[in-house]
Structure 1
């Protein structure tokens, strides 16, 4: 049994991770800023602890991690999953929007690692999994803040892996299109949601949109002792997105 901290735990990939690790018999510490969605996670499971937490706020993160440690013990695994998307170019992006995306997507991973790694070091081992994106490698139009934050996650991953070896491993998981509330909400903003959804399917060699449970399964493996020699690397779960240039 391990103690697993998951950020952005109330929806999408985070929620799938909660279910995966609970089914694995682990203690799960679920962090999310959305109180309502977080409350809906409650399965009356003694191994699930839920904390309303703004993971971009240093004081909030420090206090929450301390409460989690007091509740279940030292941390074994941190999954930095919290993230948001904003659609704009550099010239269209306001400074406030830029800071918001960087704080939620990148600063949160720094803060959560900062306050959980000392706990891992006390145990003598631990794993940090950063949820980045396929857009750390290839980029759509008008996602400047998002793709910048997700690319920076790869650098953070390498730094943690190098600085805290051999006791702590750190890896990045980079999903393509995943069937999450964030995707559904983004599609709703288009003039033709059905067409956009089909375009999302067609972009992938697998001709399907990845369910969050598949991403959670990969995260579960990478966080396990069976992946003990894997560190500093990034893993794309993207249905082949970006490796096919088309044409005959």
Structure 2
């Protein structure tokens, strides 16, 4: 699909999956609006590229950002809710502050961005909302109670948006497995043996490797394409097969 004269808004676009999406959509001809928490590139604007510093857990900041983006481009057609953070802990270890932080960034931001960007899609006559959830919306690791709860709730938000705004607006949740992003690299550095942890991540995936941000971005781009126009309210797992095996005895062990 040619995305020329179409506008996509991407949260958490400074690195990882968000940055890969920005590059891919820009190369496809789209106008790209990036919402970043940091301000390194904020204020860089031209006719197809708009960078806005924004804490996506803040309703006030999202309102201002949405108004600026619409004023700059005059339209919004796609929203990629990608911003996310990870905090570690069980239900008894996680503080209320950590819980609220994860919920605000990983869940509330998706709701707020949908709330203020969907009206612009309705003005355009159609649109697509992509919520980046996680394989942990379906299966869980230890010590990530806030993260897995927020990402699971994103699936419910996806269903509700798909139902409430059909047929004009489609909504899809894209659920990555382990992806080689700065967030992953920062997480494994917390281990005494990062190489061992990385190998464990690789071994969890039947496909024999972890994914790339570009691979997830390609799926997100396709979900926005009119060729995916019959897909809404669904959860697309981009996870290398993570979670489809119970890791029992290998066939050769039984012979």
Q: Give 1:28's aligned residue.
A: 32
Q: Deviations over 1:190-223 (max 9, x none)?
A: 0100100111111100111101000000000001
Q: Structure 2 CA distance, aligned partners of 1:22 and 1:120?
A: 19
Q: Residue 73 of structure 1: CA displacement?
A: 1.2
**Who is 2:17 aligned against?**
13
Give the drift of 1:246.
1.9
Deviations 1:59-90 (A, max 9, x none): 10001010000000121000000000001001
CA offsets per residue over residues 159-180 of structure 1, 9 Å max, x none?
A: 0000000000000000000000
Count of matched residue positions in the alignment of Structure 1 and Structure 2: 245
1:29-108 alignment runs, 5 A limit: 29-36=33-40, 38=41, 46-108=47-109
Give secondary structure in 1 for the equivalent of 2:13.
coil
Instruction: Give me the whole-angstrom Cα distance separating, in 2, the residues matched to 1:231 and 1:203.
Output: 29
**Which residue of structure 1 lines up, in the alignment, with residue 172 of structure 2?**
171
Secondary structure of the equivalent of 2:188? Answer: helix
Deviation at 1:48, TM superposition (A): 1.1
Q: Classify the secondary structure of the residue corresponding to 2:167.
A: coil
Q: What residue in structure 2 maps to residue 245 of structure 1? A: 246
Q: 3-state SS of the aligned residue for 1:35?
A: coil
Q: Distance in 1 between matches of 2:189 and 2:65?
A: 34
Which structure has the larger Rg over C-alpha atoms?
2
Cα distance in 2 between the residues matched to 1:216 and 1:176: 13
Deviation >4 Å, runs of 4+: none
Per-residue CA distance 1:108-155 (angstroms, 9 max, x = gap): 000000000111111111000000000000000000000000000000
The equivalent of 1:114 in structure 2 is: 115
Give the gaps of 5 or more residues in structure 2. 250-255
Separation in 1, partners of 2:151, 2:169: 21
2: CA distance between counterparts of 1:193 and 1:16?
24
Task: Name the residue aligned to 2:188.
Answer: 187
- Measured after TM superposition, the shift of residue 46 of structure 1 is 4.1
* Structure 1 residues without counterparts, runs of 5 or longer: none
Q: Tell me the SS of whatever aligns to 2:8.
A: strand
